[in-house]
Structure 1
Amino acid sequence: MSLNRTPLAAFTCDDDDGQHIYLYYQAPNGDIKEAIFDEASNWAPNPQNTSTVGTAKLNTGLAVISWDVGQQVRVYYLGQESKIVERCNNGQGGWDDGELTGKYQAAPYSKIAAVNLSKTGANIHVYYQDSTNKLRETISIGDWPEGTTRLPVAVVGTSIAASINFDPNRSGQIWLYYQDTDLTLKEKWYSGSNDNWSTGSFKATNVFPPGASLSAALWGFQNDRVASVDENNQLCVTPCSGPWNSTVNIGQVTITLSDVVLISVGGGSEPASALRMFFQEAGGAITHFASSDGDTWSLVTQNILG
């Protein structure tokens, strides 16, 4: 069972056994848990894990990245003193602290986002909010130095979402989404060179409460989809098809301030790949939606934890 309102993070990978989705959530005692979907066994707790990923602050920020077809996994959250924790799968069914653990102090209400710019190694960028409400970046180069200082101040407890593109012509680029102090949802775009961060054209057209959930995934090489929950607890998606289009309610109500996670299950390739979304429509339960066209959504599993 998850928290009544749990943070969520997920990634996907394919191997000879088919498609796998790894979903991370928080139990009522603070433990970060892992559930796995595959085509043979549907949803189940990881049978190789005899322990939890780790124990986090309740309602912590939560992020995950992976590479090497899911053999290497890194999970990020806040520890009890609001320092960033990195947990690494050790290949033996357990988890160990990574080098980032304890290095940076986040605001106690900070959320976390992470991306890996490499499919075969670690080029990890982690984003969080500090006590002045400024967004911060740290990068897995050597001893995890601070990255850009050009990110903005955001609303207290802003959601942070990030996406990347493996198109050879756009590799190394990062799209970062957050909530501004005026409560509008904004985008910062990194071009891949010379600390060149600029304001993107993303604009969600619904009204959002402070701390509204955000998640982003690539839909084909050129287009993003940004999922969010508006002030009426409506689950909505803002699509990009070259330009950004109007925000669309997908006809699903969530619990108040439900977290939401959106992933591409095809790796962000052309033609556009399928999407999966996870959120809470009831406390303690996690719902799984799917889209094959990026715009039309259907229920897969109402409560993946049973």
Structure 2
Amino acid sequence: MSSPSARDGSDVAVAAPGEWQCNVFYQDDNGAVRQSIHNKGNWSHTTTPTFTAKPSSPLAAISFDGGKEVRVYCVSGEGYLEEYGYSSNKPGWWGGALNKLRFRVAAASKVAAVYWNDNRNIRVYVQDPDNKVQELVYDNSGGWRKGASLPVAQDGSSLAVVRWEKEGRSCLRVYYQARDSSTVKEHCYENSKWFEGEFSIPDIPPYASITAVVFRDAQAGVHLRVFLQDSSASIIAYHNDGGWVKQGAVVGPLRPGRRIAALEWREGTELRVFYQADDNKIREQAQSNAGAWYKGEYEA
């Protein structure tokens, strides 16, 4: 089944509900958000639009309950952060409770989101009108609310977030491009405190896309992977298995500002990066067992 064409400058979002499963989201020329679903080797594509967002809206996606629940975060034509949901026991897509906040974002804001299954905790990160990175929280306190205010980021900075658990507590990492700087930085949450992290990559062009994944191996070690578009316009991988190391190019060069999204399966032995190529198609790069990156099956 063929998929609708992606608009030039579309964002890309991905959620991975389980092993060899994922949902990929992008925007078509009419502003409709489209979905492709991978289920253990087979791809399918939506034949009808899901919902609409402003042209070239940022996108972020999460899924839970084994993929029975999906949430996508975007920005409306009026500039408000919005949430759309899919539930396997309901028809079609529906507007989420976050929409009631009417939270206005910066004109060029991107969005990142993360979920964990402890009373359905969700964290969404955007830039507010003053370009601060703002956290929005959904938990068992009774709905959506504003959370932490993080550093001011460069106008239109890409955003990425990952989460894992240590000694029963959440650890978060938010990646962004610093204001008045060409440096991609990391902001960390551990032991109920936010602080600046060690990741710091200078000389990155404005609006460069950033995405990240985290996984744990059998020995419970934490492994971080950050992907970003550098000054050569290639997508570059950085690994942290105890310290940050540059690993080289995943794909490229691409046109500056191309959007990317990543996922991991099987304790990080399978990595995937989805990106918009120069012909505007959404494509996939894959890595297996830490080997060379190769062209994946997905194309939209």
Q: Same fold (TM over 0.5)?
A: yes
The structural deviation recorded for 1:250 is 3.2
Q: Which amino acid aligns with 2:241?
A: S
The structural deviation recorded for 1:247 is 5.4
Deviations 1:7-38 (A, max 9, x none): 01101133xxx722210000011111101122
Give the structure 2 partner of residue 157 of structure 1: 156
1:69 aligns with 2:73: no
CA separation in 1, counterparts of 2:250 and 2:68? 34
Tell me the SS of whatever aligns to 2:200.
Answer: coil
CA separation in 2, counterparts of 1:183 and 1:252? 20
Q: Which amino acid aligns with 1:20?
A: Q
TM-score (norm 2): 0.89
Q: Which moved more, 1:168-177 or 1:96-105?
A: 168-177
Runs of 4+ in 1 over 4 A off after TM superposition: none
Contact 2:20 2:41 in 1 (8 A): no
The structural deviation recorded for 1:298 is 1.1
- Structure 1's unaligned 5+ residue stretches are none
Give the structure 1 partner of residue 209 of structure 2: 213
The structural deviation recorded for 1:117 is 2.4
The structural deviation recorded for 1:279 is 0.7
Cα distance change, pair 223–31 in 1 and its aligned pair in 2 (3 A): same
The structural deviation recorded for 1:232 is 2.3
Q: 2:6 aligns with which of 2, 5, 14?
A: 2
Alignment of 1:20-39 (within 5 A): 20-39=21-40
Give the structure 2 partner of residue 264 of structure 1: 264
CA separation in 2, counterparts of 1:55 and 1:260? 20
Q: Which moved more, 1:25-34 or 1:279-288?
A: 279-288
Give the structure 1 partner of residue 177 of structure 2: 179
Cα distance change, pair 155–146 in 1 and its aligned pair in 2 (3 A): same
Cα distance change, pair 53–251 in 1 and its aligned pair in 2 (3 A): closer
CA separation in 1, counterparts of 2:153 and 2:208? 12
Give the structure 2 partner of residue 284 of structure 1: 280
CA separation in 2, counterparts of 1:126 and 1:235? 24
Give the structure 2 partner of residue 83 of structure 1: 80
Q: Which amino acid aligns with 2:283?
A: T
Give the structure 2 partner of residue 138 of structure 1: 136
Deviations 1:230-253 (A, max 9, x none): 122111111112011135223522
Tell me the SS of whatever aligns to 2:38.
Answer: strand
Q: 1:300 aligns with which of 293, 296, 299?
A: 296
Provide the identity percentage: 28
The structural deviation recorded for 1:192 is 4.7
CA separation in 2, counterparts of 1:170 and 1:248? 34
Cα distance change, pair 240–296 in 1 and its aligned pair in 2 (3 A): farther
CA separation in 2, counterparts of 1:7 and 1:94? 22
Contact 1:173 1:190 in 2 (8 A): yes
* Count of residue pairs brought into register by the alignment: 287
Alignment of 1:233-272 (within 5 A): 233-246=233-246, 248-266=248-266, 269=267, 272=268
Tell me the SS of whatever aligns to 2:279.
Answer: coil
- Structure 2's unaligned 5+ residue stretches are none
Q: 1:201 aligns with which of 198, 201, 211?
A: 198
Cα distance change, pair 39–143 in 1 and its aligned pair in 2 (3 A): closer
CA RMSD of aligned residues (A): 1.9
Give the structure 1 partner of residue 17 of structure 2: 13
Write 1 or 2 for the structure with the bigger share of strand.
2
CA separation in 1, counterparts of 2:136 and 2:14? 21
